[in-house]
Amino acid sequence: MAAEVNGKSNQSISHTKHKHVKLGLFGFGCVGQGLYHVLEETPGIKAEIKKICVKNKSKARPLRADLMTFNKEDVLLDKDIDVVVELIDDANAAFEIVKAALKNGKAVVTANKKMLAEHLEEIYQLQIQYGKPVLYEGSVCGAIPIIRNLEEYYDNDLLTGIEGIFNGSTNYILTKVFDENKSYADALAKAQELGFAESDPSLDVKGFDPKFKLVIAIAHTFGVFVKPEDVINIGIDRISDLDLKFARENKYGIKLVARAFKKDGRVFGFVAPQFIEQTHPLFAVRNEYNAVQVESAFAEKQLFIGKGAGSYPTGSAVLSDVSALTYDYQYEYKKLNQPHDLKFSNSLSVDAFVSFEQGTNISIGDFEQFQNGYAANGKQYMVGRVKLEKLQAWSLLDGVGIILAPNATLVPEKEITKEIDALV
Amino acid sequence: MAAEVNGKSNQSISHTKHKHVKLGLFGFGCVGQGLYHVLEETPGIKAEIKKICVKNKSKARPLRADLMTFNKEDVLLDKDIDVVVELIDDANAAFEIVKAALKNGKAVVTANKKMLAEHLEEIYQLQIQYGKPVLYEGSVCGAIPIIRNLEEYYDNDLLTGIEGIFNGSTNYILTKVFDENKSYADALAKAQELGFAESDPSLDVKGFDPKFKLVIAIAHTFGVFVKPEDVINIGIDRISDLDLKFARENKYGIKLVARAFKKDGRVFGFVAPQFIEQTHPLFAVRNEYNAVQVESAFAEKQLFIGKGAGSYPTGSAVLSDVSALTYDYQYEYKKLNQPHDLKFSNSLSVDAFVSFEQGTNISIGDFEQFQNGYAANGKQYMVGRVKLEKLQAWSLLDGVGIILAPNATLVPEKEITKEIDALV
C-alpha cells in the first residue's frame, strides 16, 4: 500500500537532511555488542562502525580484526569519525574519553550513568564550549525513551514530579522474593546466578545505580543540577524476613522507588524501598522491567514501562541516539534555560516503617509523628513520619531496615529563612 | 542551582530558532477550552491565540469578544495566523478546514481521529503538495506521546507490533463492571451520568473510535495506509452477564484491545474485546486510562500509560504539537519512506469465546479448531479458533457476544497465491 503511495508521488516529506555518520566505539561488552548487532540488522540507518577501541588484548571477540584497536587515539584522532560511542565501565576513564572526543570535534553517545551523574554540569558546559552534542538516552532506564520525552514532548507542560523503578536487578530480586517466597539473600543469589545481578551487587542493591539515573532525570525534568552525593539513597539490602512477612500479610509488594518532585521553589529527590499496594501502577512492573511515571499539571500521570537493561534494549537506545545525530539532534536542556530559582533540598519528612534490633538507638522521640510500633523476638518495628536525613543515618546502622509506607506522604519542611522573613 | 549555571555562562544550547506562532482555533469545546487554559498557564511557550471560530452564536463563552468569530474566513484568510488548530466534532467539515488551511499556507494541528483515519493518505499528500505540516498527537490516546515516539524514537528499530487500550470510555465501563459488580448496561449508564461516555456511545462501545486511532498508529508504525472500513472492529456492547460471570470466576478482566502486527510481509490489525489475565500488563490499566504497547526487535516491549481523553490531557497533547511547530517540526513518515512491500490483511484466525442464543446459525464446523463448548438456559458458549472475518459477521447478529481468549493466539492464514506458487 505504501508502495502505491510512493508510486503516485515521487516526493516525500523530509525537512531535515540525514547525514551518514561514522562511529568510533569505546568498549565492546554487553551494550557494545548489542549495538553492533542492532546496527547490522537495521536497514536504513545511516551509520557504520569504523573503529572499536578495547582494553583487553587477550579476549577473543567475534569481530573483523581491522575494526579493533587498543589505542584510543586511533578513535579520538581519526578525522573520519563523527561520533564517539562510549560504552566502558570505568566512569573516570569514560569522562576523559568524553572530554577528549568533544575537544576533537566529535559528538558523543554514552550510557554511563555514573559518569553522567557525577559530571553532568561539566558535560553541559563542555557541549556549549565545543559546540558538539552528548546524547545519553541509554543511561536512564534502558529502552524507555524518557530523556527524549522530557526534552521534546514535555517541554512546555509544567512538570511536577517524576518517579519510578529505575533499576532492573533490584526489581528482579524483589519480584522473586514474592513470586517464589524467597528471602532477600536467596533471591539475590538466584539473580546473580542468572546474570540479573552483578557479582558485586552493591551499586544496585544499595540504590546508587537508580540514584545516578535520578540525578540525570532531575536535570531534564526540573532544570536543576544536583551532585549524586547530595541525593539520599536507601537500599534494599537490609530488607528482613519480618519486612517480607508484613508485606505478604498485607498483600503489598516492595519496590525500590526513585522519585523527585517540585514543591514551593524546591526540588526534592531520593531513592528508597517502599511498600506498594496492588492497585498502584508500579505494582505490576515485574522482574527486570523499569518504569518511569511523569506527573505534570496538564498531561497528568504518564507511565512508561520497558526493559531497563540488557544488551539489546540498551543497544537500541544507544542506536536511537546515533540515529538522532544523523539529523544533528542535541538536547536543548529546555528546563535549565527556562527562568527559575529552584534549589535541591533534602528537608523532607516521610512516612516509613523502621525495623531494628532491640538496643539500637532509635526511639519514639525520633519521629516527627509516631504512628505505631511493636516488638517481638528481639526485633522492633516503628512506623511514623521521620526526617529523610535521619532515615539515611539509620540506614547505615547495623540491622536497621527502612521501607516507606504505602502511598507515603512526603512533607517538605518549611524553609527556616522564610519563617524568619515572616517574623521580621 | 540552574541560576548559577546560567550565571557562569551566558551561552546556552539552542540549535533551533524558536519562532512565535499565532493560532487560529476552530471549535471551543472541551479540548479547545483545555488548550486555552493550558496555554494561559504555561510560561515560555511562544504561541498565542489570535482568533477562535465557533458555530453556535447563542452559546455563552468565557472569552474576550474580540477573539471570537463565526466566519471561518476570518481565520483561514488571516495572513497573521501561522497555525490552524482544528478541534471540531464534524469530521467532514474538519477535513475541509484542514485542506483550506494548508492551501492558505498554514500549518495544522488537529485531534480529529475520525477525519484523520478517513483521509490520512490525502493529508499526507496535501502536506507534500503545500509544504506545510499537519500534526495530530492528540488524536491517538490523548496525552500519551505515541505518534512522536513512533516517528522519532523508534525510527530505526524494527517494529513488530503495537497494541493497547485506545479508548477511555469503554475502559471506564469495563473497570466499573468488575469493581462494582455491575452489568454492562448499568456500567454504561453510570459512565454516561459521569460524562465518561457520550449520550450516543456507539462510536466508543462498538469499537469505532479505537479503530480510527489504530488506523493512524498503523501508518506511523508500519508505513501502511489502511482505510477504516477495511479494519474489523468488534465492540463491547454485546458482553453478556454470562461473559462477566465467566471472567469473574477465572479472575480475568475484559479490555477492548486495539492491535496491529507485522508477519510475513503483511500487516494485520483489528479491535476486539479480550479476556485479560491478572499478570497481563494491560490488566492494571484502569478507568479512563489508555495504554499503548510497542513491540520491537530490540527495545522489546515498551508500555506507555496515560490519560487518553479529557480537556487537559488532550489540550496538553495539542499544545505539544503547537510547541513543536515553533521549531518547524513535521512528521517525516519515516516508515512509509523506508522501502517495504507490506500489505494490510484480514486473513487471520484468532482464539475466541463466542456466546449466542440457541438457534443462532453458529456451529462447531465454523471453527478452524474447536476447543470446547457448553450450553445452559438457552445460551451457548463455544471456544476455539475462528477466522476474523467470520467473527465480524457474527458480531452483527443479534445476541452474539465475542471475546478473545486470554493470550489468544493470532494465526495468519497462508496466502493463497503463495500456496499456488508452491504447487506450480
- The CATH 3.40.50.720 domain(s) of chain A lie at 18-139
Report B:211-270 residues touching A (Cβ under 8 A): 223-226
Q: Using a CB-CB distance cutoff of 8 angstroms, which residues of chain B are in contact with residue A331?
A: 13
Contact between B344 and B357 under an 8 Å Cβ cutoff? The reply is no
**Which residue in B13, B299, B305 is closest to A128 by CB distance?**
B13
Nearest CA to A198 out of A272, A315, A89, A119 is that of: A89
A349 close contact with B: CB closer than 8 A: no
Q: What mean pLDDT comes out for the span B394-415?
A: 90
Q: Using a CB-CB distance cutoff of 8 angstroms, which residues of chain B are in contact with residue A179?
A: none
pLDDT value at residue A1: 35
Catalytic residue, chosen from B213, B255, B307, B335, is B213
Cβ contact, residue pair B155, A344, below 8 Å:
no
Query: Which residue type, as a one-letter code, is found at position A346?
Result: N
Give B51 to chain A, closest Cα distance, Å. 22
A316 close contact with B: CB closer than 8 A: yes
Give B399 to chain A, closest Cα distance, Å. 34
Nearest CA to A173 out of A254, A292, A241 is that of: A254
pLDDT value at residue A212: 98
* B124-141 tens-digit pLDDT: 999 999 999 999 999 999
- Rounded to the nearest 10 degrees, how much is the dihedral formed by the CA atoms of A365, A366, A369, A372? -80
Domain A18-139 has CATH 3.40.50.2000: no
Q: Which residues of B279-306 are buried (b: 16+ CB within 10 A; e: fewer)?
A: ebbbbbbbebbbbbbbbbebbbbbbbbb
Residue B186 binned pLDDT confidence (cut-offs 50, 70, 90): very high
A303 close contact with B: CB closer than 8 A: yes
Cβ contact, residue pair B15, A328, below 8 Å:
yes
Q: What mean pLDDT comes out for the span B49-67?
A: 86
CB-defined contacts A:B, below 8 A? 224
Task: Tell me which fold the domain B159-306+340-412 belongs to.
Answer: Dihydrodipicolinate Reductase; domain 2 (3.30.360)
Give B403 to chain A, closest Cα distance, Å. 24
Mean pLDDT, chain B, integer: 89
Residue B13 binned pLDDT confidence (cut-offs 50, 70, 90): low
Query: Which residue type, as a one-letter code, is found at position B231?
Result: V
Q: Report whether pLDDT(B198) > 50.
A: yes
- Pairing relationship of beta strands B47-53 and A159-165 according to DSSP bridges: unpaired
Best A298, A311, A334, A340 residue to mutate vs chain B (most B CBs within 10 Å): A298
pLDDT value at residue B424: 41
- Rounded to the nearest 10 degrees, how much is the dihedral formed by the CA atoms of A418, A420, B2, B6? 120
pLDDT value at residue B370: 95
Q: Using a CB-CB distance cutoff of 8 angstroms, which residues of chain B are in contact with residue A155?
A: 320, 323
Residue recorded with cell 527556562: A338
B376 class by beta-carbon count within 10 Å (0-12 exposed, 13-18 middle, 19+ buried): exposed
Long-range Cβ contacts of B238-243 (<8 Å, 24+ apart)? B238/B395, B238/B399, B238/B400, B238/B401, B238/B402, B239/B177, B239/B184, B239/B273, B239/B401, B239/B403, B240/B184, B240/B355, B240/B379, B240/B401, B241/B183, B242/B355, B242/B379, B242/B381, B242/B401, B243/B353, B243/B355, B243/B401, B243/B403
Cβ contact, residue pair B330, A42, below 8 Å:
no
Cβ contact, residue pair B149, A145, below 8 Å:
yes
d(CA A160, CA A387): 22
Q: What mean pLDDT comes out for the span B202-207?
A: 94
d(CA A288, CA A171): 6
Catalytic residue, chosen from A106, A113, A213, A255, is A213
- Pairing relationship of beta strands B68-69 and B300-307 according to DSSP bridges: unpaired
pLDDT value at residue B268: 97
Q: Report whether pLDDT(B145) > 80.
A: yes
Q: What mean pLDDT comes out for the span B341-349?
A: 95
d(CA B40, CA B264): 50
Report B:38-57 residues touching A (Cβ under 8 A): 38, 41-45
Q: Using a CB-CB distance cutoff of 8 angstroms, which residues of chain A are in contact with residue B340?
A: 2-3
pLDDT value at residue B316: 87
CA angle B178/B138/B149 to nearest 5° reads 95
Nearest CA to A222 out of A162, A303, A181, A132 is that of: A162
Residue B44 binned pLDDT confidence (cut-offs 50, 70, 90): confident
Contact between A243 and A254 under an 8 Å Cβ cutoff? The reply is yes
**What ipTM goes with this model?**
0.80
Report A:277-296 residues touching B (Cβ under 8 A): 279, 281, 283-284, 286, 296
Give B269 to chain A, closest Cα distance, Å. 15
Cell numbers representing residue A364 in the block: 519514639
A66 close contact with B: CB closer than 8 A: no
Q: Identify which has the larger pLDDT, B4 or B208.
A: B208
- Could you tell me what percent of chain B has a pLDDT over 90? 66
A131 close contact with B: CB closer than 8 A: no
A2 close contact with B: CB closer than 8 A: yes
A70 close contact with B: CB closer than 8 A: no
Cell numbers representing residue A36 in the block: 553492533
Torsion A225-A228-A232-A238 (CA) sign: positive
Q: What mean pLDDT comes out for the span B69-97?
A: 96
Who contacts B139 (Cβ-Cβ below 8 Å, separation ≥6)? B110, B111, B112, B113, B116, B147, B212, B213, B216
Write out the CATH class of domain A146-307+347-412. Answer: alpha beta
Residue B237 binned pLDDT confidence (cut-offs 50, 70, 90): very high
pLDDT value at residue A313: 85
Name the least confident of A21-25, B4-8, B95-99, B417-421: B4-8
Q: Report whether pLDDT(B251) > 60.
A: yes
What pLDDT tens digit does each residue of chain A (424 aa) get? 333 333 334 456 654 567 899 999 999 988 888 888 888 887 778 899 999 999 887 777 777 888 999 999 999 999 999 999 999 999 999 999 999 999 999 999 999 999 999 999 999 999 999 999 999 999 999 889 999 999 988 876 689 999 999 999 999 999 999 999 999 999 999 888 888 787 789 999 999 999 999 999 999 999 999 999 999 999 999 998 889 999 999 999 999 999 999 998 999 999 999 999 988 989 989 999 999 999 988 878 899 999 887 778 888 899 999 999 998 899 999 888 887 889 999 999 999 999 999 889 999 999 999 999 988 888 899 999 999 999 999 999 998 999 999 988 899 988 654 444 444 4
pLDDT value at residue A12: 62
- Other Cβ atoms closer than 10 A to B399: 13
- Other Cβ atoms closer than 10 A to B362: 20
CA distance to A161, A207, A231, B148, per residue, from A217 (Å): 10, 15, 13, 20
Give A375 to chain B, closest Cα distance, Å. 36
Q: Identify which has the larger pLDDT, B375 or A154.
A: B375
d(CA A208, CA A231): 10
Contact between B11 and A128 under an 8 Å Cβ cutoff? The reply is yes
A15 close contact with B: CB closer than 8 A: yes
- The CATH 3.30.360.10 domain(s) of chain A lie at 146-307+347-412
* B101-120 tens-digit pLDDT: 999 999 999 999 999 999 99
Q: Is B213 a catalytic residue?
A: yes
